[in-house]
Amino acid sequence: MPSLTGKMKRPRTRFRAAATISAVIALALPLTGCTTLHTTAPSAARAQAKADVQARFGTVDCRKAKCIALTFDAGPSEHSARLLDILKEKQVPATFFLLGKRHIEKYPELVKRMADEGHEVASHTWDHKILTRISPEQIREELQ
């Protein structure tokens, strides 16, 4: 195939172009909703939740108020009790993303306390597998 310079394109160049286009399409499909994977956005999940479940601290419109979200990833640890004391004293809610195998099983009393004190407890998967390397069924298992 002649290029702008009049020379023939090499097969390797055509292969790279085809591979690049294929990669872009493969990455774009999940963003357009053209896949068989079902995902739920946090806002949709809240809408599907039971109507009688309310956030302890209420909601805030971050367009009107200055907002900071405190999130803690991959805990609790031996320092979590002190952190919870400080958050309670200052009346500050937080979100904790926990691993089931390493955190929930090891510190069940701290996890219960987090929820009891009005903090959001969220999933950081069961044992931290790389979700892009496992099947949809395994992903569901990790998140249940």
Q: Tell me what pLDDT residue 105 has.
A: 78
For residue 98, list its beta bridge partners: 75, 123
Give the strand pairing for 95-98 and 120-123. Answer: parallel
pTM of the model: 0.52
- Please give the pLDDT value at position 84: 94
Contact between 96 and 72 (Cβ < 8 Å):
yes
Kindly give the parts of the chain with pLDDT less than 70.
1-15, 17-20, 22-58
The predicted pLDDT at position 53 comes to 47
